[in-house]
Chain A
Amino acid sequence: MREYTRFLFRCARLSFHGDWKYYLWMMALTVIALIGLNAYAKQFVQGLSTTGMTDQVSWGLYIANFTFLVGVAAAAAMMVIPVYIYRNKDLYNLVIYGELLAVVAILMCLMFIMVDMGRPDRGLHLLQRFNFPISILTWDVIALNGYLLLNLHICGYLIYCAYQRRQPTKKFYIPFVFIAIVWAISIHTVTAFLYSGLGGRPFWNSAVIAPRFIASAFAAGPAIIILTLQVIRKATGYPVSDKAIQTLRSIVTVALSINMFLLGSEVFTEFYTDSAHGVSAQYLFFGLHGHNALVPWIWSAIALNTLALVILFSPWRNRLGLLNMACVAMIVGIWIEKGMGLIVPAFIPSPLGEIVEYTPTTNEVLVCLGILAFGMLLYTIFVRITVPVLYGELTIDTVYHTDPELRAQRRSGTPSGDQQ
Chain B
Amino acid sequence: MQLPQMNDNNASGGCGCSGSDSGHGGCASRPGMTRRSFLRTSAGATGGIAALAASLSPLREMGGEGFSMQEFLQKHYKEMSESDMDTALTRISDQVEKRYEVRPDIRDIKPMDGVEFVYALNLSRCIGCRKCVHACVAENNLSREPEMQYIRVLEMPRGTMDIEQGDHHYDRPTVPDEDHFYMPIQCHQCANPPCVKVCPVEATWAEEDGIVVVDYDWCIGCRYCEAACPYWARRFNFSTPKIPKADLNPNMSYLSNRPRPKGVMEKCHFCLHRTREGRMPACLEVCPTGSRKFGNVLDPNSEVREVLRTKRVFVLKEDVGTLPRFFYYFDERDPLQSVTVEGGAS
Question: What is the 8 Å Cβ interface bit string for chain B, positions 9-46, against chain A (1 contact, 0 not)?
Answer: 11111010111111111111100000000000000000
Determine whether the beta carbon of B56 is less than 8 Å from that of A399: no
Determine whether the beta carbon of A199 is less than 8 Å from that of B58: no
A402 touches B (CB below 8 Å): yes
B340 touches A (CB below 8 Å): no
Most B CB contacts (10 A, CB to CB) among A34, A41, A121, A129 go to: A129
Give the size of the chain B interface in residues (CB under 8 angstroms). 86
Question: What is the 8 Å Cβ interface bit string for chain A, positions 293-312, against chain B (1 contact, 0 not)?
Answer: 00000000000000000000
**Considering the complex, which residues of chain B in the window 231-245 have a beta carbon less than 8 Å from any beta carbon of chain A?**
231-232, 234-240
Complex alpha-carbon distance, A400 and B26, angstroms: 7
A260 touches B (CB below 8 Å): no
Determine whether the beta carbon of A135 is less than 8 Å from that of B199: yes
A406 surroundings in chain B (CB, below 8 A): 26-27
Partner of A58, one of B10, B227, B239, B320: B227
Partner of A119, one of B51, B59, B197, B263: B263
Complex alpha-carbon distance, A408 and B6, angstroms: 20
Partner of B194, one of A17, A117, A131, A199: A199
Determine whether the beta carbon of A18 is less than 8 Å from that of B223: no
Complex alpha-carbon distance, A16 and B16, angstroms: 12
**Considering the complex, which residues of chain A in the window 2-46 have a beta carbon less than 8 Å from any beta carbon of chain B?**
6, 10, 13-14, 16-20, 23, 26-27, 30, 34-35, 37-38, 41-42, 44-46
Most A CB contacts (10 A, CB to CB) among B55, B75, B227, B235 go to: B227
Partner of A353, one of B165, B221, B262: B165
B191 touches A (CB below 8 Å): no
Determine whether the beta carbon of B166 is less than 8 Å from that of A352: yes
How distant is B155 from chain A, measured CB to nearest CB, in Å?
12
Determine whether the beta carbon of A19 is less than 8 Å from that of B321: no
Most B CB contacts (10 A, CB to CB) among A27, A116, A131 go to: A131
Determine whether the beta carbon of B222 is less than 8 Å from that of A403: no
Determine whether the beta carbon of A129 is less than 8 Å from that of B10: no
A254 touches B (CB below 8 Å): no
B4 touches A (CB below 8 Å): yes
Complex alpha-carbon distance, A42 and B62, angstroms: 10
B334 touches A (CB below 8 Å): no
Say whether, besides A47-B262, A402-B7, A20 and B239 are in contact (CB < 8 Å). Answer: no
Complex alpha-carbon distance, A126 and B76, angstroms: 11
Complex alpha-carbon distance, A216 and B170, angstroms: 42
B198 touches A (CB below 8 Å): yes
Determine whether the beta carbon of A118 is less than 8 Å from that of B26: no
B27 surroundings in chain A (CB, below 8 A): 401, 406
Determine whether the beta carbon of B320 is less than 8 Å from that of A199: yes
Question: What is the 8 Å Cβ interface bit string for chain A, positions 349-378, against chain B (1 contact, 0 not)?
Answer: 111111000000000000000000000000
Q: Which of A48-56, A144-152, A181-189, A262-270 contacts B (4 or more CB under 8 A)?
A: A48-56
A332 touches B (CB below 8 Å): no
B219 surroundings in chain A (CB, below 8 A): 118-119, 122
Determine whether the beta carbon of A49 is less than 8 Å from that of B239: yes
Determine whether the beta carbon of A35 is less than 8 Å from that of B55: yes
Determine whether the beta carbon of A136 is less than 8 Å from that of B164: no
A49 surroundings in chain B (CB, below 8 A): 146, 238-239
Determine whether the beta carbon of A38 is less than 8 Å from that of B263: no
B114 touches A (CB below 8 Å): no
Complex alpha-carbon distance, A121 and B13, angstroms: 41
How distant is A401 from chain B, measured CB to nearest CB, in Å?
5
**Considering the complex, which residues of chain B in the window 208-239 have a beta carbon less than 8 Å from any beta carbon of chain A?**
218-224, 226-232, 234-239
A226 touches B (CB below 8 Å): no
Question: What is the 8 Å Cβ interface bit string for chain B, positions 197-208, against chain A (1 contact, 0 not)?
Answer: 111111100000
Determine whether the beta carbon of A119 is less than 8 Å from that of B220: yes
Across the interface, name the chain B residue whose C-beta is closest to A141: B200
B168 touches A (CB below 8 Å): yes
Determine whether the beta carbon of A20 is less than 8 Å from that of B19: no
B231 surroundings in chain A (CB, below 8 A): 200, 351-352
How distant is A193 from chain B, measured CB to nearest CB, in Å?
11
Q: How large is the interface on A (under 10, 10 to 19, 20 to 34, 35 or more residues)?
A: 35 or more
A207 touches B (CB below 8 Å): no
A137 surroundings in chain B (CB, below 8 A): 198-200, 222, 224
Across the interface, name the chain A residue whose C-beta is closest to B224: A137
Determine whether the beta carbon of B59 is less than 8 Å from that of A44: yes
B307 touches A (CB below 8 Å): no
Determine whether the beta carbon of B24 is less than 8 Å from that of A399: yes
A134 surroundings in chain B (CB, below 8 A): 197
Say whether, besides A41-B57, A45-B62, A402-B10, A118 and B200 are in contact (CB < 8 Å). Answer: no
A314 touches B (CB below 8 Å): no
Partner of A399, one of B4, B197, B221: B4
B132 surroundings in chain A (CB, below 8 A): none
Determine whether the beta carbon of B229 is less than 8 Å from that of A42: no
Determine whether the beta carbon of B201 is less than 8 Å from that of A37: no
Complex alpha-carbon distance, A224 and B144, angstroms: 47
Across the interface, name the chain B residue whose C-beta is closest to A121: B72
Partner of B21, one of A17, A41, A197: A17
A247 touches B (CB below 8 Å): no
Across the interface, name the chain B residue whose C-beta is closest to A48: B238
A171 surroundings in chain B (CB, below 8 A): none
Determine whether the beta carbon of B227 is less than 8 Å from that of A135: no
Say whether, besides A129-B201, A199-B321, A38 and B18 are in contact (CB < 8 Å). Answer: no
Say whether, besides A49-B239, A129-B202, A401-B26, A38 and B57 are in contact (CB < 8 Å). Answer: yes
B162 touches A (CB below 8 Å): yes
Complex alpha-carbon distance, A369 and B84, angstroms: 43
Partner of A117, one of B3, B222, B226: B222
How distant is B332 from chain A, measured CB to nearest CB, in Å?
25
Interface CB pairs A-B, < 8 A, 12: A23-B21, A27-B15, A42-B58, A48-B236, A122-B220, A135-B200, A137-B224, A200-B231, A201-B228, A400-B24, A402-B23, A406-B27
Give 9 nearest A-B pairs by CB, closest first: A118-B221, A200-B230, A118-B263, A353-B164, A402-B23, A47-B239, A38-B55, A49-B239, A49-B238
